[in-house]
Each structure stands twice: as C-alpha cells, then as structure tokens.
Amino acid sequence: MAAAEDRRVSTRATGIVGIAILCSRVLGLIRETVFAGLFGAGRNLDAFLMAFRLPNLLRDLFAEGALST
C-alpha cells in the first residue's frame, strides 16, 4: 500500500515538473517572438540582449561563487 502511494506521489510530482518545463519553453518562445517583433534581427537586438546577459554573467562568476573551488 505504501509503495502504491509513493508511486502516485512520484508520478504526480513528475507531471508537475514536466508541465512547468513545458510552460517555460512556451514562454521562452513567446519572449523571443516579441523581441524579434520589436527589434528585428540586427544590432539593436544584439545590444539589448547583451545589456541583460553581461551583468548576469558577471554576477554568476563573481557574486555567486562560480569561480570558487
């Protein structure tokens, strides 16, 4: 009985994670579509994306300890 309950809980948790990943992918596609519609493919979009990604990269490297051993 306990094994069946564990299996049900595990299956439900797996389904929730799968749905969350699917939603994340769909929202990412929508985000990219909006960016392409607003900026087009070119230097403006590249500059916009770098303005967001470069500070995040620096935070990951220095503030969150990605370089620590």
pLDDT in tens, 18-40: 999 999 999 999 998 998 888 88
pLDDT for 15: 95
pTM exceeds 0.85 for this model: no
Give the amino acid at 23.
Answer: C
pLDDT for 66: 61
Gap between the Cα atoms of 65 and 48, Å rounded: 26
The average confidence (pLDDT) of the chain is: 87
Both structure tokens of 2: 């306990």
Average pLDDT over residues 44-69: 81
